[in-house]
């Protein structure tokens, strides 16, 4: 074998070895020098890294769980040893930043660095450990747009803009959705639709809320000047972030139902319609792979009280993909169904939208 081949083989082997060593070093750096120890009432002993304790749940990072996090009820924990420095929040408001060892009779000895000695406290007096403090208001939203144009033998132009925004505090949640779609062929209008929704939720409990919402829409090719729906009623947050682990850890889902004043103003000689209706809605967001992709679903249905077969239904299904930083791309299918459309129009409209835009989420994550 020539000297050049030997040299290539040597460099390749050195590259592989250094890569393996680098991975091993990175893995060893990510592991604590000594594991934390959690002892349960049934005698079970778990080893890992205490990440957080809040709302009566202890989060322990281990290699045995599918998402590396095991959730334990604090009431089931009898002993706790924490080898890495971490903040302990006590009932009276004191915060001790240090390590801890299990003491007798359900106590914990906390060594607060850099002070000498330790403080022994009952486990029950610890309200939280290393809690993740969220800002008072969390903002989540995106603005996306799509554009296409052809010239030459054809002169088509299509524009679409989608936007969504949510502001969430402990008791209030403001949601806004907007869409505008326009298309023409050689200057002749072929599609134009605009829709907007604004909704405010007041949380009575952690899950139960009361909503008030307004829906407005205009569509040239449904002969619709303005469709409005003013609604209010109760809702329930069935799934909140953190309820599950693994792929479902960031999923949210709620449903709501209430009373709506529904009005449709049409062009030409088509009579306008106004009535009281029910409103039923569901919304699901499912971020995946630490937010790199997200599936979502949202629908609203407005059935008439006078005639149950007379209803209007709108639904959005889509996926958002994170490209880099806040840059995102997305695909959405919007379906609108009017069971009793005006004469000369069909009952179903579908929009297929490919977009590129910007998204943001101020939720703090570990």
Task: Convert the pLDDT of each residue in 177-211 to its tens digit.
Answer: 999 999 999 888 888 999 999 999 999 999 999 99
Average pLDDT estimate for 278-289:
95
Beta-bridge partner residues of 8: none
Three-state SS at 153: coil
What's the pLDDT at 182? 93
Q: Is residue 12 part of a domain?
A: no
Q: Is residue 114 part of a domain?
A: yes
Give the separation between CA 184 and CA 221, rounded to whole angstroms: 13
Beta-bridge partner residues of 320: 294, 330
The shares of helix, strand and coil residues in the chain, as percent rounded to the nearest 5, are: 10, 60, 25
Give the separation between CA 332 and CA 160, rounded to whole angstroms: 11
Q: Is residue 1 part of a domain?
A: no
**Cβ proximity of 342 and 215 under 8 Å:** no
Higher pLDDT, 114 or 234: 234
Residue 19 has pLDDT above 50, yes or no: no
Choose one of 97, 129, 161: the last residue of a domain: 129
Kindly report the CATH number assigned to the domain that includes residue 259: 2.40.230.20
Higher pLDDT, 148 or 270: 148
- 115 and 150 part of one domain: no
Mean per-residue pLDDT of the chain: 86
If pLDDT is split at 50, 70 and 90, which confidence band does 10 have?
very low
- 99 and 169 part of one domain: no
- 161 and 300 part of one domain: yes
Global pTM value: 0.74
- 324 and 183 part of one domain: yes
Three-state SS at 246: helix
Percentage of the chain modeled with pLDDT above 70: 90
What's the pLDDT at 272? 82
- 125 and 145 part of one domain: no
- 99 and 155 part of one domain: no
Question: pLDDT digits over 326-356, tens only?
Answer: 999 999 999 999 888 877 788 898 989 999 9
Give the separation between CA 11 and CA 313, rounded to whole angstroms: 65
Choose one of 78, 110, 129: the last residue of a domain: 129
CB atoms within 10 A of CB 17: 10
Q: What are phi and psi of 340, to 5 degrees?
A: -130, 75
- Domain extent, residue 84, equals 36-129
**Cβ proximity of 275 and 305 under 8 Å:** yes
Percentage of the chain modeled with pLDDT above 90: 50
Question: pLDDT digits over 52-98, tens only?
Answer: 988 888 989 887 765 678 889 988 999 999 998 899 999 888 888 99
Residues 217/222/223/227 CA torsion (nearest 10 deg): -20
Q: Is residue 4 part of a domain?
A: no
Residue 301 has pLDDT above 90, yes or no: yes
Apex 336 CA angle, 335 and 342, nearest 5: 150
- 143 and 109 part of one domain: no
**Cβ proximity of 339 and 267 under 8 Å:** no
If pLDDT is split at 50, 70 and 90, which confidence band does 294 have?
very high
Choose one of 95, 112, 129: the last residue of a domain: 129
Residue 109 has pLDDT above 50, yes or no: yes
What's the pLDDT at 287? 93
- 272 and 151 part of one domain: yes
**Cβ proximity of 60 and 74 under 8 Å:** no
Count up the domains in the chain and report the number.
2
- 342 and 220 part of one domain: yes
Average pLDDT estimate for 1-22:
44
DSSP 24-49: HHHHHHHS-SS-EEEEETTS-EEEEE
Q: Is residue 18 part of a domain?
A: no
Residue 135 has pLDDT above 70, yes or no: yes
**Cβ proximity of 322 and 358 under 8 Å:** no
Give the separation between CA 238 and CA 268, rounded to whole angstroms: 44
């Amino acid at each position: 074998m020539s000297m050049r081949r030997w040299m290539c083989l040597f460099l390749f082997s050195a590259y592989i070895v250094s890569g393996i060593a680098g991975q091993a070093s990175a893995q060893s750096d990510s592991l604590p020098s000594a594991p934390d120890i959690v002892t349960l009432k049934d005698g079970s002993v778990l080893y890992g890294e205490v990440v957080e304790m809040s709302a009566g749940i202890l989060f322990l990072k281990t290699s045995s769980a599918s998402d590396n996090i095991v959730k334990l009820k604090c009431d089931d924990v009898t002993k706790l040893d924490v080898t890495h420095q971490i903040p302990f929040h006590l009932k009276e408001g004191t915060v001790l930043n240090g390590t801890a060892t299990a003491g007798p009779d359900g106590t914990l000895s906390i060594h607060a660095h850099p002070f000498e000695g330790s403080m022994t406290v009952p486990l029950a007096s610890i309200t939280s450990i290393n809690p993740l403090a969220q800002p008072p208001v969390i903002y989540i939203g995106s603005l996306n747009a799509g554009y296409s144009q052809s010239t030459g033998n054809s002169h088509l132009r299509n524009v679409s803009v989608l936007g969504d925004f949510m502001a969430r505090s402990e008791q209030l949640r403001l949601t806004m959705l907007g869409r505008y779609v326009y298309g023409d062929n050689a200057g002749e209008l072929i599609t134009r639709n605009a829709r907007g929704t604004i909704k405010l939720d007041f949380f009575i409990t952690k899950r139960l809320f009361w909503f008030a919402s307004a829906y407005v829409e205009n569509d040239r090719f449904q002969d619709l000047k303005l469709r409005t729906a003013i609604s209010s009623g109760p809702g329930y947050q069935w799934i909140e972030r953190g309820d599950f682990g693994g792929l479902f850890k960031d999923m949210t889902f709620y449903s709501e139902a209430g009373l709506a004043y529904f009005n449709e103003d049409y062009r030409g000689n088509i009579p306008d319609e106004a009535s009281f209706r029910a409103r039923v809605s569901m919304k699901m967001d499912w971020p995946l792979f630490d937010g790199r992709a997200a599936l979502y679903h949202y629908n609203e249905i407005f059935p008439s009280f006078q005639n149950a077969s007379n209803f209007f239904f709108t639904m959005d299904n889509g996926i958002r993909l994170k490209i880099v930083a806040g840059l995102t791309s997305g695909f959405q299918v919007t379906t609108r169904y009017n069971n009793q459309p005006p004469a000369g129009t069909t009952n179903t409209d579908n929009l297929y939208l490919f977009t590129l835009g910007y998204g943001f989420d101020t939720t703090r994550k570990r």
